[in-house]
Structure 1
Amino acid sequence: MTMNRSTTSGGCAFAAALLLSLSTLAAPAPAHAQDHQHMDAHHGADVDLPEGWMAHFDGGHGAHTSQDLEFVEMAPGWHITTGPSGIFYKHDFRAEGDFTVESEIHLFDPGERRESFGIFVGGRALHGEDQRYTYFLVRRTGEFMIRHREGEELHNVMGWTEHDAVHGWNDRAEGEMSVPNVLSIQAAGDEVVFSVNGTEVHRTQRDGIDVDGHYGLRVNHNLNLHISRLDLVQGS
């Protein structure tokens, strides 16, 4: 069974419509510290989000408030300008058993920042300090990273690794204002497969990380992104 959470992109027509819409948006905020470890607990936030969405921000960094966030529906998908680092999801965004979570994310000019973005699965107790989830991120440098969070503890499944499958900011086509990456996490039997743009970049055993639970987006601070789709395919 396939459950689509947004409309997929439509090639050149999508790009033209998106760029027209984005011409009204402000540029991302100035850079602050790069590549935080995000060790502090998440905190729920009462912010203006698209209907049904929830956000939990990283605490303890002190440089941002939830008002720095802009998160709006923009067909196809959503546009996010941060603001604070955090996770974004809906109550009914749940995946268990065999499934694939996949998202297409467009990065707009990050400057020299190396802040990362991507998707998470296995979310549990996301409202408190005992939150758990596994997240899969990329960044402007053409690298990916996989990490498991358990409360305030972070465990690298795969540290920052350069891979040809990841589209870095400098890989964008001439004249393009953004660079897209498609990230997917596939849970199948005892294994979990992480892929970027259709290429497997890592495979690990399921019993070492959280997989079943909420899924959604993980976005670090001072990023300007368009998420054209966030899809769940349940079953093998």
Structure 2
Amino acid sequence: MTRLTKGAGTAVVAALALAMIPQLVHAQDDKSNAVKGGIQVSGWKGKVDDKEAKAGLTVDSAKFITMGPGLHATTGPATTYWNPTMVGKGDYVVKATFTEREYMGLNSHPHPYGVVIAGNDMGTDNNSYLYCAAYGNGNFIVRGFGPTPFQMNGPRGGANDAVHKAEAKGKPVTQEVALQVKGDKVSCIINGTEVASYSKAELVTAGKLKSTDGAVGFRMAHNTDAHIAGFSLGKP
């Protein structure tokens, strides 16, 4: 067992404290900055997270528009968007390609974006849904609401080589994100690779999903800007 001298131990503690400073700064400064615009895409709905609503922010504090053949979202508060006419049932897959034209352009650290499935009671305080989202640093998360938040791959998510990494802050990065329901299995697929999967029994249970059937859409973390191309609902 290695023993540290008093001086060495003090140096290690100091180094750890310095390493934590960026995280503390992020925690203190990581507030949502309102963006004007609201939802400008016909047929789509949105809901901000409860903590955002308590801070006085709404879907009008983010901007969701059509852009070219695709969609574009700029937040603001963390927001979930869905189209009530698009409902996944049985076996299905939802996918979209997200492009941050300027990685971390609106924030000081990576924020995620991805697709949503299994939406029930959407827009209410009793909503439930699942989402898989990618970060431009190679990480991803699988989370949901049921109606309180729940985590499927830990509080900080995980890394996978399939998730693309931006070259640097301000550089573009693109991710194709999909959630697939097939048989008893729900899979998160990023850039063509399954990065996580769960049984329906793990997801459809108290405090999580009401069903894997439900509305589909996408989710944007706060202070994030991305173009969404090829959003679709189909069969696996």
Q: What's 1:180 paired with?
A: 174
- Secondary structure of the residue aligned to 2:30 is coil
Task: Please report the TM-score for the alignment, with normalisation by the length of structure 2.
Answer: 0.74
- After TM superposition, list the pairs within 5 Å mapping 1:96-135 onto structure 2: 96-109=89-102, 110-111=104-105, 112-135=108-131
Change (3 A) 1:171 1:231: farther
Cα distance per residue 1:54-108 (max 9 Å; x no partner): 1111133417454432211112211111111111111111001011111111013
> Which amino acid counterpart does residue 163 of structure 2 have in structure 1?
V
Q: Distance in 2 between matches of 1:84 and 1:49?
A: 16
Is 1:140 aligned to 2:136, yes or no? yes
Q: What's 1:204 paired with?
A: 198
Is 1:50 aligned to 2:41, yes or no? yes
Displacement of 1:141 after TM fit? 1.8
1:167 to 155, 164, 167: 164
Q: Is the 8 A contact 2:38 2:61 kept in 1?
A: no
Displacement of 1:205 after TM fit? 0.3
Displacement of 1:127 after TM fit? 1.7
Q: Is the 8 A contact 2:99 2:173 kept in 1?
A: yes
Q: State the structure with bigger RCO (CA 8 A, min sep 6), 1 or 2.
A: 1
Name the Cα RMSD after superposition. Answer: 2.4
Q: Distance in 1 between matches of 2:201 and 2:233?
A: 21
Q: Distance in 1 between matches of 2:165 and 2:124?
A: 34
2:85 to 83, 92, 97: 92
Task: Please report the TM-score for the alignment, with normalisation by the length of structure 1.
Answer: 0.74
Q: Distance in 2 between matches of 1:204 and 1:67?
A: 34
Q: Which of structure 1's runs of 4+ aligned residues deviate more than 4 A?
A: none
Q: What's 2:14 paired with?
A: none
- Secondary structure of the residue aligned to 2:197 is strand
Return 5+ residue gaps in structure 2 as ranges: 1-27, 204-208
* Structure 1 or 2: more helix by fraction: 2
- Secondary structure of the residue aligned to 2:167 is helix
Return 5+ residue gaps in structure 1 as ranges: 1-30, 37-45
Q: What's 1:230 paired with?
A: 231
Q: Distance in 2 between matches of 1:133 and 1:103?
A: 17
Q: Distance in 2 between matches of 1:81 and 1:51?
A: 17
Q: What's 2:153 paired with?
A: 158
Change (3 A) 1:49 1:200: same
Q: Distance in 2 between matches of 1:50 and 1:148?
A: 24
Displacement of 1:171 after TM fit? 7.4
Displacement of 1:177 after TM fit? 4.7
Q: What's 1:16 paired with?
A: none
Q: Distance in 1 between matches of 2:219 and 2:61?
A: 16
Q: Is the 8 A contact 1:116 1:139 kept in 2?
A: yes
Q: Distance in 2 between matches of 1:185 and 1:73?
A: 23
How much identity, in percent, do the aligned residues show? Answer: 25
Displacement of 1:217 after TM fit? 0.6
Q: Is the 8 A contact 2:47 2:58 kept in 1?
A: no
Displacement of 1:32 after TM fit? 4.4
Is 1:33 aligned to 2:26, yes or no? no
